[in-house]
Amino acid sequence: MSTTAIDYNGLIPNNVELGADPRVKRALESWHPGYINWWNDMGPEGFQKSLVYLRTAVSVDAKGWAKFDYIRMPEYRWGVLLAPPVEDRKIPFGTHRGEPAWQEVPGEYRAMLRRLIVIQGDTEPASVEQQRHLGKTAPSLYDLRNLFQVNVEEGRHLWAMVYLLQKYFGTDGREEAEALLQRRSGDPDTPRMLGAFNEKTPDWLSFFMFTFFTDRDGKMQLESLAQSGFDPLSRTCRFMLTEEAHHMFVGETGVTRVIQRTCEAMKEAGIGDPYDKEAVRKLGVIDLPTIQKKANLHFSLTLDLFGSEISTNAANAFHAGLKGRFREDKLHDDHQLESSTYPVLRLIDGKIKNEDAPALSALNMRLRDDYVGDCNNGMNRWNKVTEKYGIPFQMKLPHVAFRRHIGEFSNIKADVAGIVLSDAAWQKRKDEFLPSDDDRAFIESLMRPQATPGKFAPWIAPPKVGIDNKPGEFEYVKII
């Protein structure tokens, strides 16, 4: 079988020759019912019987890898798909740089590798759990379908990590695979592993912000793991990145459409002041300062996912050749970083300052910097919309010290400009920066479902083009 073709004959579609690997095939087949139970219990609520126009991977070839069709979500063909191998691939960084990439787990790094895979795996079902109630308030069938596409693919990403655990980590891999189905987002006793994945995604603006900001962390982390010297992880992540692009598209265009609708409504009503919240809200659209507050919230939550600025874990994973930098293969240096430094934003004597730190210890900071750059590019595209309508409002990323729970700034309170505030000042001003109860209640009041094909809730503009080039009236979800 070619390495790009997918075998659809068994229970688990795959391009890893599961048929020739009875032990792993059995392990995955016995994990399957638990997964389906989890999907039925924790996946999209109320739409499990509906027919959804979804894409499914039919190849891992970069061109034409997916086909679209109506499918009931519990019948989605979740599979194990790895990008084609790179012939003669070498470990691209760290102390083993230049040695042949590992096809088996390097014994000395087993625990570290397992931890990275488990953390990655844990985020995938977590996001499905966070988004499970959103179907009920979808602003259109187009958006409903996109939500479900994201959800089923996060489910597949869980499969991707579970395959690695089952195939390469024996009994403890099986236990970890089981535990991935037991933890629950937001559960006080068995929470998901990383902070942001225990937060709520209460409304569609949050969903778009999540897919813009948090899925973008997914992209950065997957790009770093795609560099891994452990070749099966690298190949797995490379294919996941193909799917991830759509998730960020959903976020970026989702927020763009919200901003566009607000600007249109303001123009039609002759409102030029974006801060005239009351007047704008009367139009049934979300005022721009409230959209900015949602961005502040999701950006700050997501920054915590990069871990501490200075991290021995990150240094060890790089040194070992397990987790590289963003697009390591495009960087020009010694790829070992034993003697280089990197500027890190730190809290020194109560002031936020740059300080050079050993580059190995500063890898989380470096990845976060790359991430912030990527977010800025997306945000600049949002700002083109307000510019086009001549509305004097530009979205801006808050300072990286704003509202942090992990790392250098977790013990201070800073405003969106990075000015350190007293606790009292923060309490007094926090509603300036973050959605207040009133903002949340207003957004919630707009969340009314629109399930007529081709129609959209009044607070969001239609997309420029349909999915799979379908026309505007296309019935993306047949609700049953």
Contact residues toward ligand BYC (CB under 6 A) are: 116, 119-120, 123-124, 127, 154, 194-195, 214-215, 217-218, 221, 304-308, 311, 313-314, 323, 364, 406
Minimum separation from the CB atom of position 448 to ligand BYC (A): 26
- Name the 3-class secondary structure at 413: strand
Q: Record the tokens describing residue 220, joined without a space.
A: 């950065």
Determine whether 33 is exposed, middle or buried from the number of CB atoms within 10 Å of its CB (0-12, 13-18, 19+): exposed
* CA of residue 378 relative to chain centroid, distance: 15
- Minimum distance, C-beta of residue 317 to ligand BYC, in the bound complex (Å): 7
* Closest to ligand BYC by CB, 194 or 372: 194
Nearest to 132, CA basis, from 12, 44, 209: 44
Residue 403: both structure tokens together: 């509202």
- Shortest Cβ 64–ligand BYC spacing (Å): 25
Between CA 20 and CA 17 the distance in angstroms is 6
Q: Which of 396, 401, 400, 398 is nearest to 420 (CA)?
A: 401
List the alpha helices (DSSP H) in 357-436: 363-388, 423-433
Which residues, 6+ apart, have CB-to-CB distance to 38 below 8 Å? 125, 181
Minimum CB distance to ligand BYC smaller for 143 or for 217: 217
Residue 30 or 410 having the CB closest to ligand BYC: 410
**Do strands 420-421 and 413-414 pair parallel, antiparallel, or not at all (unpaired)?**
antiparallel
Quote the least distance from Cβ 194 to ligand BYC, whole Å.
4
| Smallest distance, ligand BYC to C-beta of residue 95, A | 18
Nearer to ligand BYC, 215 or 415 (CB): 215
Cβ distance to ligand BYC smaller for residue 124 or 231: 124
The token duo for 314 is 């990150």
Q: Whose Cβ is closer to ligand BYC: residue 154's or residue 203's?
A: 154
Please report how close the Cβ of residue 304 comes to ligand BYC at its closest, in angstroms: 4
**Residue nearer to ligand BYC on the CB measure, 365 or 457:** 365
Residue among 118 and 263 whose Cβ is closer to ligand BYC:
118
Q: Which residues contact 362 (CB under 8 A, 6 or more apart)?
A: 309, 310, 341, 342, 343, 344
CB of 211 to ligand BYC, least distance (A): 8
Tell the smallest beta-carbon distance from residue 455 to ligand BYC (Å).
28
- Of the pair 173, 274, the CB lying nearest ligand BYC is at 173
Nearest distance in Å: CB 215, ligand BYC: 4
3-class DSSP assignment, residue 18: helix
Provide the 8-state DSSP code for 412: S
CB of 182 to ligand BYC, least distance (A): 18
Q: Report in angstroms the alpha-carbon separations of 396 from 178, 389, 390, 404.
A: 41, 18, 17, 17
Q: Which residues contact 417 (CB under 8 A, 6 or more apart)?
A: 398, 399
DSSP string, 303-367: HGGG--SS-HHHHHHHHHTSS--TTGGG--S-SS-SS-EEEEEEEETTEEEEEEEETTTTHHHHH
H helices of 43-140, where?
Answer: 110-130
The residue at minimum Cβ distance from ligand BYC is 307
Min dist CB 302 to ligand BYC, Å, is 8
Q: Which is nearer to ligand BYC, 129 or 231 (CB)?
A: 129
- Assigned token pair, 97: 């740089």
Cβ distance to ligand BYC smaller for residue 154 or 439:
154
Q: Of the two residues 139 and 324, which places its CB atom closer to ligand BYC in the complex? A: 324
Specify the length of the chain in residues.
480
Q: If DSSP codes are grouped into helix, strand and coil, which group holds residue 55?
A: strand
Nearest distance from residue 294's CB to ligand BYC, in Å?
A: 16
Gyration radius of the chain over CA positions: 23
